[in-house]
Amino acid sequence: MQQQTVQQTVEENTRSTIVAPLDPVQKPFVWIGAILALLLFITIVSVTTFTQGVLFLIGLAFGLVLLHARFGFTSAFRRLISVGNVQGLQAHMLMLAVATTLFAIILGTGFSFTGNAPQGYVFPVGISVVFGSFIFGIGMQLGSGCASGTLYTVGGGKSSMILTLLGFIGGSVLGAYHIGFWRETPTLPAISLAESTGFGYFGGWILQLAIFLGIYGITVKLARMKNPPKMAPLKTTTGLKKLWRGAWPLLLAAVILGVLNAITLAVRGNPWGITSAFALWGSKFIQMFGVDVASWTYWSSDPAPLNQTVLADSTSVMNFGIILGAFIAASFQGNFKPGKIKPGIGAASIIGGVLMGYGARLAFGCNIGAYFGGIASFSLHGWVWMIMALAGTYLALFLRPMFGMKNPNPKDSIC
């Protein structure tokens, strides 16, 4: 009996959802989101290709999953560094294990749904990656969201994230403008833990699974040692209504995100990415005012996207899908409720967005392209990104209170 009580207590302390009354469905918003999604899908397929339409649908799926689980990279790092809560990082390890397994199969066999030869995100490790990922870590804590977090919370109705997104776009353009300087800084070549080591994808898969298990083991010991406050469980419901109404378990979302990234790789030939679209949007905008962005080093090798519709850019259409998917999910939950922005939060959002945009260009990606996609692609730069973003998070914990932002406290009941 006592053992059963202990087990029940453990389950209550670790579960990420709890059955509770939900807000009413915001039906007008659901219909608006569904109609916009349908119209945008038709437009994308009409002016580009069916593959672009499929990528938009995958983006919708990403947005739904991210919103339903409130799947965080920023919050996971912040909880880990501030109080030792490991739930988010454990979900990351599961997500990466699933994606790595599927990526190994796809990259090792050349499998593709569309004929686009799959290529992972394997990039050099140098000063630009170290510095870029470090300031990205600072930026995501000030901006209260990473690349994926910015998009899905904008769709979910968090007003301050619009400022983060605008800062993100501005920082991305600035990073693209300066990229010529950063590419001249010292760097190692691109290193794949599968191909550069001679292990092959099977050996690289074994190596990375061992690393994931090792990190997971460390998190278990850390949680026992610190006994940190748990994540606040999200409200959900029962039965099939969970699919569109309630929150989804964090670990389930981790598995789905890993699968969706693999599907993205097999459809477009590259893993999921987000921030290159921000550089494109911003560059196209200032180009309208006569700025010769095509002459920048960043665009000189492939200026074509600057003269095409953004719907021809696969990352852009996926981003649009994430925002709309999150909007629809939030509307079903009755949570699309934009609010006022406090001056301190607004300032932090803009600064954080700029730091993330600039850092992502230097580090060959963000928490998605560099961390998620890089590690799943067996790239050493993905692991370096993770370490330096955690270091940036540590520094940012001292900066957040200056803007009126709270950090998790070990004495809190939840975090």
Q: Are 392 and 83 in contact (CB under 8 A)?
A: no
Decide: pTM greater than 0.85.
Answer: yes
Percent of the chain whose pLDDT exceeds 70 = 97
Q: Cβ(272)–Cβ(369) under 8 Å? A: yes
Phi, psi of 270 (to 5 degrees): -135, 155
Is the model more confident about 350 or about 237? 350
- Is pLDDT of 13 > 80? no
For helices 160-182 and 275-287, what crossing angle results, to 10°?
A: 90
The arithmetic mean of pLDDT across residues 20-34, rounded, is 96
In a domain, residue 3? The reply is no
Query: What torsion, rounded to 10 degrees, do the Cα atoms 261, 263, 266, 270 define?
Result: -20
Residue 11 lies in a domain: no
Burial class of residue 10 (count of CB atoms within 10 Å of its CB; 0-12, 13-18, 19+): exposed
* DSSP β-bridge partners for residue 19: 236
Q: Which residues contact 310 (CB under 8 A, 6 or more apart)?
A: 277, 280, 281, 284, 316, 317
15 belongs to a structural domain: no
**How confident is the model over 219-235, as a mean pLDDT?**
94
User: Of the candidates 81, 98, 80, which has an alpha carbon nearest to the alpha carbon of residue 89?
Assistant: 80
pLDDT for 14? 55
Return the SS3 of 126.
Answer: strand
pLDDT of residue 242: 87
pLDDT of residue 207: 98
Q: How confident is the model at residue 92 (pLDDT cuts 50, 70, 90)?
A: very high
Beta strands in 191-324 (DSSP E): 234-236
Cβ–Cβ under 8 Å, residues 87 and 348: no
Q: What percent of the chain has pLDDT over 90?
A: 93
Q: Residue 406 — left, alpha, or beta (φ > 0 → left; ψ -120 to 50 → alpha)?
A: beta
d(CA 290, CA 208) in angstroms, rounded, equals 47
| Average pLDDT of the residues in 213-227 | 96
For the chain, give the mean pLDDT. 95
Please give the average per-residue pLDDT across 311-322, as a whole number.
98
Is residue 408 one of the residues assigned to a domain?
A: no
In a domain, 6, yes or no: no
Query: Look-up: residue for tokens 């921000």?
Result: 278
Question: Is 10 domain-assigned?
Answer: no
Q: Is 225 exposed, middle or buried (0-12, 13-18, 19+ CB in 10 A)?
A: exposed
pLDDT at 15: 78
Across residues 127-148, what is the average pLDDT?
98
Q: The domain containing residue 184 runs over which residues? A: 25-231+238-403
Q: Which of 248, 208, 258 has the alpha carbon at shortest distance from 379?
A: 208
The mean per-residue pLDDT over the stretch 82-105 comes to 98
77 Cβ contact partners less than 8 Å away, ≥ 6 residues apart: 88, 89, 137, 140, 141, 389, 390, 393
For 49, residues 6+ apart whose C-beta sits below 8 A from its C-beta are none
Instruction: Tell me the C-alpha distance between 245 and 248, whole Å.
Output: 9
Predicted local confidence at residue 111, as pLDDT: 98
Q: Is 20 a domain residue? A: no
Mark out the alpha helices in 119-246 (DSSP H runs).
127-142, 147-156, 160-182, 200-226
pLDDT above 90 for 212:
yes
Q: What is the pLDDT, as a whole number, of residue 11? A: 42
CB 87 within 8 A of CB 253: no
In a domain, 297, yes or no: yes
Q: Which amino acid is at 195?
A: E
Q: How many domains does the chain have?
A: 1
Instruction: Using DSSP bridges, classify how beta strands 17-19 and 234-236 pair: parallel, antiparallel or unpaired.
Output: parallel
